[in-house]
């Protein structure tokens, strides 16, 4: 499975961006999908995860109510809609897939990773 993340860019505080994670070599319905990020000088951290099925999406407390993860099976793409962006959201964002059912919030549990897309929020 190959993942391509894109949609990052420069946005002002309070703005919005939608990140995309396009999959090839596998269907998104077969995987748990997570989003993670690495801010400058910091460790990679969990952002959001959506299970294969059901309503078990989990968000990091810092993005809850502002970010939303969704799937488009026809496009075989997962999205991360980011609203009300803050400077502390500046980071490289990664999408990741894992097999099984458990919507893990831990990066080490994921099998496939996209290359990352940079989001910069300017104040």
What would the pLDDT profile of 19-75 be if each residue is shown by its tens digit? Answer: 999 999 999 999 999 999 999 999 999 999 999 987 899 999 999 999 999 999 999
Largest CA distance in the chain: 40
> What was the pLDDT predicted at 12?
98
> What was the pLDDT predicted at 54?
78
Rounded to the nearest integer, the mean pLDDT of the chain is 96
For residue 56, what are its two tokens? 């078990």
Calculate mean pLDDT across residues 4-31. Answer: 97
Beta strands (DSSP E) in 1-123 are: 2-6, 9-12, 17-24, 32-38, 44-50, 58-59, 67-72, 77-82, 91-98, 112-113, 117-122
> What was the pLDDT predicted at 34?
97
Nearest to 107 by CA among 61, 49, 53: 49
> What was the pLDDT predicted at 88?
96
- Binned at pLDDT 50, 70 and 90, residue 2 comes out as very high
> Residues near 120 by Cβ (< 8 Å), separated by ≥ 6?
8, 9, 10, 11, 90
């Amino acid at each position: 499975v190959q993942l391509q993340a894109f949609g990052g860019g420069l946005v002002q505080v309070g703005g919005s961006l939608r990140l995309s994670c396009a999959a090839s070599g596998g269907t998104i319905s077969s995987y748990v999908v997570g989003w993670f990020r690495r801010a400058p000088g910091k460790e990679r951290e969990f952002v959001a995860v959506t299970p294969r099925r059901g309503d078990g999406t989990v968000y990091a407390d810092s993005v809850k109510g502002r970010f939303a993860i969704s799937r488009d099976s026809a496009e075989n793409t997962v999205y991360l809609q980011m609203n009300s962006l803050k400077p502390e959201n500046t980071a490289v964002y990664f999408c990741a897939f894992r097999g099984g059912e458990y919507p893990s919030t831990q990066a080490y549990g994921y099998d496939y990773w996209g290359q990352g897309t940079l989001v910069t929020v300017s104040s």
